[in-house]
Amino acid sequence: MKILVTGGLGYIGSHVMVLLLERNVEVLCIDNLDNSRLEVLDGIKKITERKPLFKNLDLKNKSETDVFFKEHSNIQGIIHFAAHKAVNESSKKPLLYYNNNITGLLNILDFSIKKDIPFIYSSSCTVYGDAKSFPINEDALTSNPKSPYGNTKLMGEQILKDCFNAYCKFKTIILRYFNPIGAHPSGNIGEFPLGTPQNLIPYLTQTVIGKHPFLKIYGSDYETEDGTCVRDYIHIMDLAEAHIKSINYLISAKNKKMYEIFNVGTGKGSSVLDVINAFEKVTGENVPHKFVGPREGDVPIAFADVKKINSKMGWKAKFNLEDGLRSAWNWEKEIAKKS
Ligand code: NAD
Ligand code: UD1
């Protein structure tokens, strides 16, 4: 099998490529290194003893993207990760986000549709905005994602829906990830954010290793059990596995057309304080923290109803919050050794 992974050197893509290579899939990877490093390929090689075929390519560049596709035929599936993903930055630079996330998607979809190649799209629980009932299932309203980033994800879903309506052989799966955390158990790949991380777990592990004086907890009087925001933290290895299941589901499906949406989470909500307590318990480290005001755009609660992906694909998270935090901490220590 030959699978194209866009944004494959990034956090989620690199873990998915490992699972594909371990299954002897031929993997092509496109990335423009905008938010990743070439060394990721060495980490992948250490784990799998193989490397994907890598092309440094910006998907916004239509002519170069077309040349790539002319050179590489027989692709049987596309997993599209390439996008900008920083929620805060997207509010300050909306055009950067619309341009990258939408143009890249359109350029690659053009090829997928011409060649009838099944397509997996990385969406996000952010499309649910401020949901009103929990756990959130796939039929919940998707409105007001609260940031230009979230809007690009929702627009992407709409574009795919329109393609499904228009083309008789278009097959796509949309995966709405909740909050991915952790790293490969080998410590050879993980989340390696360029610049100061905005997300909770990398900021927390960087704080504990000494890069920041304390973790800011955004908000203490949300209507949750302990007043801090609740999220569904999904281990990166579980999330990666959901892509393998999706590829199999898409390729083996008998129907010629497909447009299906799946949540990918654990189904369990954990507050920021739960995360800190769990981290301290599994690592024995202290997490210096201070409460500050709420962060603009944060929703109080988001956790997934995962019945659909479980019943249709047989996928279920195997790891828990503690496993994710332990591996995130091991990875932070690996990064410290490298620098
Ligand atoms: P990441 O930034 O680590 O990886 C994305 C990769 O895409 C990077 O390597 C980047 O260099 C590349 N890229 C960006 N624009 C590109 C372009 N125009 N051409 C070629 N390559 C390009 O992000 P990630 O965490 O691995 O996320 C992957 C996908 O999952 C994204 O679409 C993101 O929106 C989505 N997602 C992520 C999360 C999360 O919390 N990590 C949650 C929900 C959805
Ligand atoms: C959001 C989106 C997610 C998106 C991701 C990309 C929602 C529900 N989720 O995740 O879909 O793909 O951004 O970045 O919109 N926190 C702190 N201190 C920090 C950092 C975070 O207290 O320094 C808190 C936040 O307030 C939040 C939780 O930790 O409650 C998780 O935050 P983060 O890791 O940034 O992810 P989300 O904002 O949930």
Query: From ligand 2's centre to the CA of 294, what distance in Å?
Result: 11
Task: Specify whether the backbone of 176 is left (phi greater than 0), alpha (psi in -120 to 50) or beta.
Answer: beta
Nearest ligand, CA 274 = 2
Q: How does pLDDT run across 215-261, given as a tens digit for each residue?
A: 999 999 999 999 999 999 999 999 999 999 999 999 888 888 999 99
Q: Is 334 in the pocket of ligand 1 (CB under 6 A)?
A: no
Distance CA 142, CA 178 (A): 14
CA-nearest residue, atom 1 of ligand 2:
126
Assess contact for 241 and 317: CB atoms under 8 A: no
C-alpha 99: how far from its chain's center? 19
Q: Does the reported pTM lie above 0.85?
A: yes
Q: How does pLDDT run across 23-43, given as a tens digit for each residue?
A: 999 999 999 999 999 999 999
Distance CA 253, CA 109 (A): 20
- Given a cut of 90, whether residue 194 has pLDDT beyond it is no
Q: Which residues are catalytic?
A: 149
Residues 6+ apart with CB under 8 A from 115: 69, 75
Convert 145-195 into a string of H (helix), E (strand) and C (coil): CCCHHHHHHHHHHHHHHHHHHHCCCCEEEEEEECEEECCCCCCCCCCCCCC
Q: Is 230 in the pocket of ligand 2 (CB under 6 A)?
A: no
Q: How far apart, in Å, are the Cα atoms of 236 and each of 8, 25, 92, 134, 177? A: 14, 20, 28, 23, 10
Nearest ligand, CA 275 = 2
Mutate to test the pocket of ligand 1, among 4, 5, 9, 11 (most ligand atoms within 8 A of CB): 11
- Given a cut of 90, whether residue 334 has pLDDT beyond it is yes
Six-digit token pair at 56?
Answer: 């440094």
Q: Exposed/middle/buried for 220, CB within 10 Å: 0-12, 13-18, 19+?
A: middle
Domains of the chain by range and CATH?
Answer: 2-182+232-266 (3.40.50.720)
Average pLDDT, the chain: 96
Q: Which DSSP category does 233 fall into?
A: E
Query: From ligand 1's centre to the CA of 227, what distance in Å?
Result: 30
CA-nearest residue, atom 4 of ligand 1:
10
Q: Is 30 in the pocket of ligand 1 (CB under 6 A)?
A: yes
Q: Is 14 in the pocket of ligand 1 (CB under 6 A)?
A: no
Mutate to test the pocket of ligand 1, among 6, 93, 122, 147 (most ligand atoms within 8 A of CB): 122
